[in-house]
């Protein structure tokens, strides 16, 4: 594989319980989170824009060594399936949430890691 997006069920359940306050999350709730994340990552493939790229270009820009192709994904804003409530967030708030351990799709704390590269992708009006 050229790239691996690290997503694990433990982190998804933690997001559902702690962040989204769901008492009994279903696989549908977990799949909603995964689909939102992957939709955000691949939007540059599906929609025209100034910064269009494909996943291969993303990998070339982020991966200095081919064996280090594991991406830890953070996502913001997190919403539960079917939720109609939202509030406008600023770019600094979105960025802070994106790198928060509670918003990571893999059960790890980003404050304790070492990173070679990072990328933040935003959609919509900023």
User: Containing domain of residue 36, as a range?
Assistant: 4-112
Q: Is the pLDDT score of 82 beyond 70?
A: yes
Selection from 71-85, 91-105, 107-121 with the highest mean pLDDT:
91-105
Q: Residue 84's pLDDT band (boundaries 50, 70, 90)? A: low
- Return d(Cα 54, Cα 28) in angstroms, integer: 28
Q: Is 123 inside any structural domain? A: no
Q: Is 92 inside any structural domain? A: yes
Tokens describing residue 104: 């990571």
Number of structural domains in the chain: 1
Q: Is 46 inside any structural domain? A: yes
Q: Is 65 inside any structural domain? A: yes
Q: Is 66 inside any structural domain? A: yes
Q: Is 122 inside any structural domain? A: no
Q: Is 73 inside any structural domain? A: yes
Mark out the alpha helices in 8-126 (DSSP H runs): 9-14, 27-41, 43-46, 55-62, 91-98
pTM value > 0.85: no
């Amino acid at each position: 594989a050229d790239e691996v997006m690290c997503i694990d069920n433990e982190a998804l359940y933690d997001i559902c319980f702690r962040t989204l306050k769901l008492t009994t999350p279903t696989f549908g709730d977990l799949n909603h989170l995964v689909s939102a994340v992957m939709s955000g990552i691949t939007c540059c493939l599906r929609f025209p824009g100034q910064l269009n790229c494909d996943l291969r270009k993303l990998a070339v820009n982020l991966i200095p060594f081919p064996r280090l192709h594991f991406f830890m994904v953070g996502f913001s804003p997190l919403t539960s399936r079917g939720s109609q409530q939202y509030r406008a967030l600023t770019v600094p708030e979105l960025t802070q949430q994106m790198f928060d351990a509670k918003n990571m799709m893999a059960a790890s704390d980003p404050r304790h890691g070492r990173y070679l590269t990072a990328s933040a992708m935003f959609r919509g009006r900023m």
